[in-house]
């Protein structure tokens, strides 16, 4: 299974257009909003679909159109949640001719305005039962945090995916949004080849410097709360917010993550599992 990190930043990317914090003005390598592409050899599937998806596709040779004038290698999209930074890219893919989209039932309901738009452009399908040819997918509910725009309804609102390539035994766990360390998560990540973990914030008080709300209220477990569980594992943090000091390679927070054995891969990082 091939894995490409198309984007590794939280909503708004880094630098964020409406922010002049230290990290957004530091000239660090830019990061686009969180999105992953995976393939077991027969086309590519997206894990989430960021508003930056057009630029991400054009920056990734494996995802470019061809060889025919309208042939594309995309085969479908798996959504972990209904947040806008993970779903607005579906509108950008309206010209695909139609793709299958998989997500929890509550997410599909919240996205009905989006689906009604893109359905007009082709044969899209929407389902909560994931079926990826050549791959085995397991789903774990991890949070009941719903987007601000969505009406209240039963969840789960956020899930993590465990994707196994039976041909190689490689296992990817994708969990970019964790409000807590949920029940069953240790078993879910057991023996995984790579875990892409929520790295939105480093510390519980991080957003105070820019007047933001509490991190847990935003649905993200700080890195400091999960770092003791990471030691010695091949894990990587993604969905990194523009306020997170780990973005600065010279920071002690960046060093602490690497010392624990975890990675902070940039946009475009590739893995083979």
Q: Report yes or no: 143 and 179 within 8 Å, Cβ to Cβ.
A: yes
Confidence bin at 229 (pLDDT 50/70/90): confident
Please report the pLDDT score of residue 165 as a whole number: 97
Confidence bin at 205 (pLDDT 50/70/90): confident
Confidence bin at 201 (pLDDT 50/70/90): very high
Would you tell me how many other CB atoms lie within 10 Å of the CB of residue 114? 19
Confidence bin at 216 (pLDDT 50/70/90): low
What gap in Å lies between CA 112 and CA 124, rounded to an integer? 12
Confidence bin at 249 (pLDDT 50/70/90): very high
pLDDT tens-digit profile of 89-105? 999 999 999 999 999 99
The domain made up of 2-272 has a fold known as Metallo-beta-lactamase; Chain A (3.60.15)
The pLDDT > 90 percentage for the chain reads 81
Please report the pLDDT score of residue 218 as a whole number: 62
Please report the pLDDT score of residue 42 as a whole number: 82
Cα–Cα distances in angstroms (integers) from residue 26 to residues 56, 101, 242, 243, 250, in the given order: 23, 37, 11, 12, 12
Exposure of 149 by Cβ count < 10 A (0-12 exposed, 13-18 middle, 19+ buried)?
exposed
pLDDT tens-digit profile of 23-68? 999 999 999 999 999 999 889 999 999 999 999 999 999 999 999 9
Supply the DSSP string of 200-235, one letter for each residue.
Answer: S-SSTTGGGGGT---TTTTT---HHHHHHHHTTS-E
Q: Is the pLDDT of residue 209 over 60?
A: no
- Token pair, residue 185, equals 């998560």
Confidence bin at 215 (pLDDT 50/70/90): low
Residue 106 has φ and ψ, to the nearest 5°, of: -60, -35
pLDDT tens-digit profile of 149-185? 998 788 899 999 999 999 999 999 999 999 899 999 9
Please report the pLDDT score of residue 43 as a whole number: 94
Q: Which residue blocks in the chain are alpha helix, DSSP H?
A: 53-58, 84-87, 89-92, 105-110, 112-118, 185-189, 223-230, 252-259
Would you tell me how many other CB atoms lie within 10 Å of the CB of residue 136? 12
Q: Report yes or no: 32 and 56 within 8 Å, Cβ to Cβ.
A: yes
Confidence bin at 207 (pLDDT 50/70/90): low
Q: Name the average pLDDT for the chain.
A: 92
Please report the pLDDT score of residue 223 as a whole number: 93
Domain locations along the chain? 2-272
What gap in Å lies between CA 158 and CA 176, rounded to an integer? 10
The C-alpha angle with vertex 241 and arms to 258 and 48, in degrees rounded to 5, equals: 100
Q: Which residue blocks in 59-156 are alpha helix, DSSP H?
A: 84-87, 89-92, 105-110, 112-118
Residues in the chain: 273
Confidence bin at 109 (pLDDT 50/70/90): very high
Q: Is the pLDDT of residue 255 over 60?
A: yes
Residue 57 has φ and ψ, to the nearest 5°, of: -65, -45
Q: Report yes or no: 245 and 205 within 8 Å, Cβ to Cβ.
A: no
The pLDDT > 70 percentage for the chain reads 95
Which of 238, 172, 207 minimizes the C-alpha distance to 10?
238
Please report the pLDDT score of residue 99 as a whole number: 97
Q: Is the pLDDT of residue 247 over 80?
A: yes
């Amino acid at each position: 299974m091939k894995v490409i990190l198309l984007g590794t930043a939280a909503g708004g990317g880094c630098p964020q257009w409406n922010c002049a914090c230290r990290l957004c003005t530091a000239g660090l390598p830019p990061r686009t909003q969180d999105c992953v592409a995976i393939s077991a050899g027969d086309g590519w599937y997206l894990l989430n679909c960021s508003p930056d998806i057009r630029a991400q596709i054009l920056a990734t040779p494996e995802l470019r159109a061809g060889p025919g004038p309208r042939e594309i290698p995309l085969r479908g999209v798996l959504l972990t949640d209904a947040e806008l930074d993970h779903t607005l890219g579906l509108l950008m893919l309206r010209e695909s001719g139609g793709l299958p989209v998989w997500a929890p039932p509550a997410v599909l309901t919240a996205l009905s305005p989006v689906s009604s738009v893109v359905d007009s452009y082709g044969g899209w399908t929407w389902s909560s039962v994931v079926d990826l040819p050549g791959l085995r997918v397991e789903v774990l509910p991890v949070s009941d945090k719903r987007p601000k725009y969505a009406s209240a309804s039963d969840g789960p609102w956020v899930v993590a995916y465990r994707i196994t390539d039976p041909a190689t035994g490689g296992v990817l766990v994708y969990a970019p949004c964790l409000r807590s360390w949920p029940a069953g998560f240790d078993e879910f990540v057991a023996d995984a080849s790579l875990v892409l973990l929520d790295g939105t914030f480093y510390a519980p008080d991080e957003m105070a410097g820019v007047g933001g709300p509490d991190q847990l209220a935003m649905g993200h477990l700080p890195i400091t709360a999960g770092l003791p569980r990471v030691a010695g594992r091949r894990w990587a943090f993604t969905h990194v917010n523009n306020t997170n000091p780990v973005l600065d390679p010279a920071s002690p927070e960046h060093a602490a993550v690497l010392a624990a054995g975890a990675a902070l891969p940039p946009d475009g990082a590739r893995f083979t599992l």
